[in-house]
Chain A
Amino acid sequence: MIDLYEKGERRVAVVEEARRWKEAGMITAEQAAAVAERYRPELVRVNLFIRILLAVFTVVGVVALVAMPAVTLKVEETGLTLLCLIFAPLCAWVADHELIAGRRLYRCGAEEALLLLAVGMLALAVAIPAHDWGHDTERLAALTAHMIFLAGAILLTVRYGYALMAFGAMLALAGLPFHLADILHWQQPHLTRLVLLLMLGAAAIWSQRRLGRRDSLHRGYVWSLETVRISALAGIYLDVNLFAHRLLWREWLGWTPGESLFSWSDDICALLTAILPVASLAMGIGRRDRALLWFGVVSAILSILTLKYYVHLGHLPEELTAAGLLVVGLAFGLLRWLRAGSKRCRGAFTAEPLLEPRLYGLDAEALAAIQPLAPEPRMSQPKGFQPGGGTFGGGGASGGY
């Protein structure tokens, strides 16, 4: 990661976390302001919505800027390639040198859009001229453009720690087996699936291992690795879930079941569809890993909804009703069990919101529920606020922190 972000990102992280502490009622507004002052980042940041607007209009502006000479000079494929080759490094230079190094922009939308456009234009510069050079050359050029996009997205992730670029890289990686199949004339869709599965599996294992040292990593890298891991797991799940598998492979891609290369693939799919959510949940609980827990819960619900593709315990309505009752009962039981524990905790786990995002429309109990866990704010304190526990002794820690 570039030096500017390495130094500045820690400060940004502290200021942003302090805002969460304030929103969770753990510190006062004065304390949050003091933290913001002490850790004032030198990087320029903007609000998320302004970031979106800046990104959108940067794209509009740059596309218009490239299109203007193309239309005025009525250029053909070669001219357009030349324009892309001129504008791609220009965009990258403006973003890196002028906006990031010069104006110290940090995830402001404009510089992200420019870097993405640079990569996109470089890929287009390879793909466009091959249009008239015959079918094989065209396909080869498309694969090269694909590889350029993948390499560019990885480079941007490594250099700037952009999680969105990591997601782009994962999409490009997932598309690679299809492109290879097209170039190498693979007639068996199962082979494409196998390559996809192996690639995604490797990405998931690699990111999981890297995340083991998350405390020593920069925030941008942690987000990027999380993106890689969850995208890879989601890809694997979509590949092995028979419902998605049949929808994607048999209906969208027109593959007929008769061409099956591996007779056991459906059984493996069924097994993995059951194992993936359970393993994610177990690992999420064991390692206290929120991303894995979310993936586990969502994939478990999806597996229940697509249960009929694997086992037939009865009719679908009865299965779904029973599964729904089971899930609701389990969630409700866990909530009550966790809340009945000492200080509303069971070991390290609590059902109370701590620093969790408050999902819109469902946060009514958030502040009330936090009070038994929150320590007394240091500075001013609203009248009537009586925290239930000034010190913490649960979860094996001593109360003498």
Chain B
Amino acid sequence: MQEALNDLESSEILSREQAALLRRIYGRELFSVHWELRLLLYGGILILTTGLGLLVAEHFASIGHLTLLAAIALGCVACFAYCLRHGGGFSPESLATPDAAYDYVLLLGCLLLGTLQGYLELRYQFLDQYWNWWLLASALIYLLCAHYFDNRLVLSLGLSTLGAWLGVKTSHLGTGLWDGALRDSALFFGALVIAAGTAQTRLGWKRHFLPVHLHLGVNVLLTALVAGVGSRAAGSAYLAGLLLTGSGSAFYALRERSFAFLLYAVLYGYVGITIFMLDLGHWSSEGIIFYFLVSAATLLTTLVALHRRFGSAE
């Protein structure tokens, strides 16, 4: 790399200062421990919350419920107070975090809030069989925090908690309806997440949240559609939906050069089509192998053509 830096400097592609800085980085005269320290912080929070959880479970009888509740609530309030004090307030645009601990303090606050809600329900059973509403409340608070404090980690937490609420709510419908209803819930959730992300982007509101919405939404939607393809009643409808969503995902991947979405489209689409094809009738062993041979050859040819057309290396 040092040779290349000399060459780029002498050909005036890099300035003297840029080449000097890069030489120092590659020569390890300047060494960043940014992610190592973040990993240490994350690991510390993981150990701390695990320890606190065990502490609560083991000693709640001796410490007393109110003391524990107060301690958790206090920790939660302290975390949010820190974020409110150090954060820049709401902005529809992306915000720079004020310091390295900010993201983790917010995450800790959100996790403590979840612990507080769980503890309250476990101890006092305010909502009894309707306990899943706590999940909805958590999801909404997390989403609010994600938008106010501009944090994509908490946004992921909020969206997955919302998904969990829908899943738990669906499970109350009973065993007979379970499969279909869960699929429908997943379809609704996936579409909702994608729609919310798209709407936000169109409104110019937290545009940088769109990838989080799309990755989660597309995966949930495609998983639900693939799961539905095998069903006797509406397999064709699910396959049509899968092809439509997969095409959309592939189109987005090629337009935005975000090839992860192409991976989703091709893999989920292939699994869905294979399930549908093999369900169609009685296949001989040769027929099944021939199907895999032809489909793999077709996809390889298509992928090579796509790479040539779009120059996917970069």
Contact = CB atoms under 8 A, between A and B. Distances in A.
Contacts of B23: 401
Given A19-B314, A61-B292, A61-B297, A324 B35 contact: no
B255 to A, nearest CB: 15
A320 B313 CA distance: 46
Contact of A350 (B22, B32, B297): B32
Interface string B34-56: 11111111011111111110110
A56 B303 CA distance: 12
Given A65-B293, A68-B293, A364-B95, A395 B24 contact: yes
Interface stretch (B96-104, B185-193, B219-227): B96-104
Interface stretch (A87-95, A238-246, A247-255, A332-340): A332-340
A303 to B, nearest CB: 11
A25 B54 CA distance: 44
A27 B18 contact: yes
B273 to A, nearest CB: 13
Interface string A13-41: 11001010100001100010011101100
Contacts of A325: 44, 48
B312 A46 contact: yes
Interface string B79-98: 00000000000000011110
Nearest to B47: A324
Given A38-B8, A355-B25, A323 B47 contact: yes
Contacts of B100: 335, 351, 365
B124 interface: no
A93 to B, nearest CB: 18
Nearest to B102: A365
A26 B22 contact: yes
A358 to B, nearest CB: 9
A346 to B, nearest CB: 10
B29 to A, nearest CB: 5
Most chain A C-beta atoms within 10 Å of own C-beta, residue among B14, B36, B46, B297: B36
A356 interface: yes
Contacts of A68: 286, 289-290, 293
A190 interface: no
Interface in B82-133: 94-97, 99-101, 103
B37 A331 contact: yes
Given A297-B43, A396-B29, A401-B17, A365 B97 contact: yes
Interface residues of B, number: 86
A356 B4 contact: no
Contacts, number: 274
A378 B18 contact: yes
Nearest to B292: A64
B95 A54 contact: no
B16 A401 contact: yes
A377 B299 CA distance: 43
Contacts of A359: 35, 38
Contacts of A318: 51, 55
B148 interface: no
B15 interface: yes
Given A14-B1, A361-B152, A376 B15 contact: yes
A317 B54 contact: yes
A347 B41 CA distance: 22
A331 B103 CA distance: 14
Given A26-B21, A352-B32, A305 B97 contact: no
A350 B33 contact: yes
Given A328-B44, A356-B34, A374-B21, A39 B4 contact: yes
A247 B96 CA distance: 44
B266 interface: yes
Given A49-B259, A395-B24, A354 B300 contact: no
Interface in A299-347: 301, 304-305, 315-332, 334-335, 338, 345
Most chain A C-beta atoms within 10 Å of own C-beta, residue among B18, B33, B49, B286: B33
A35 B12 CA distance: 11
A353 interface: yes
Nearest to B20: A401
A44 to B, nearest CB: 8
Given A49-B259, A331-B44, A288 B35 contact: no
Nearest to B16: A401
B177 interface: no
A53 B266 contact: yes
Nearest to A10: B4
B302 to A, nearest CB: 10
A215 B103 CA distance: 36
Given A38-B13, A64-B296, A328 B41 contact: yes
A378 B313 contact: no
Contacts of B16: 401
B74 interface: no
Contacts of A367: 96
A48 B257 CA distance: 12
B67 interface: no
A304 B44 CA distance: 10
Contacts of B304: 54
B18 A397 contact: no
Given A368-B96, A397-B24, A361 B15 contact: no
B51 A322 contact: yes
A321 B52 contact: yes
19 contacts: A21-B22, A26-B21, A50-B312, A54-B300, A54-B304, A56-B267, A67-B289, A305-B47, A315-B58, A322-B51, A323-B47, A324-B45, A350-B33, A352-B32, A353-B34, A361-B156, A368-B96, A392-B17, A401-B19
Given A53-B303, A64-B292, A72-B286, 7 more contacts: A13-B1, A294-B39, A304-B47, A327-B48, A330-B40, A359-B35, A364-B94
Q: What are the nearest 6 A-B pairs in CB distance?
A: A324-B48, A401-B20, A320-B51, A327-B44, A321-B51, A61-B296
